[in-house]
Amino acid sequence: MKELTQEEWQEKLKNDSDAVILDVRTEEEVAEGYIPNAKVIDIYKGQGFINEVEKLDKSKHYYIYCRSGKRSSQACTLLDQMGFSETYNLLGGFMEWEGEKTTD
């Protein structure tokens, strides 16, 4: 896991053809807005989270965020332990995100 600032995250993401954005917040949090093209898997779902993550391509690069950066840090550690090649945690999370956002 690497901790990335917003600037580093956006720069790296822009040039990464293997990038997958992963939002590990709850459905209620996601309803308030999210980073475009993010795949949502709620880390609070416990084994359900693990089951969903196991379906992902481990060779891709995962850019993970939550509300503040704490849950996404846990998610990065978990994915690392599961054998994923590259995980990146967004420092400050969605709360401090100043990039593009969307809502349904």
Angle at which helices 70-81 and 47-54 cross, to 10°:
60
Nearest to 43 by CA among 61, 16, 25: 25
* Catalytic (active-site) positions: 66
As a dihedral over the C-alpha atoms of residue 84, residue 2, residue 23, residue 80, rounded to 10 degrees, the angle is 20
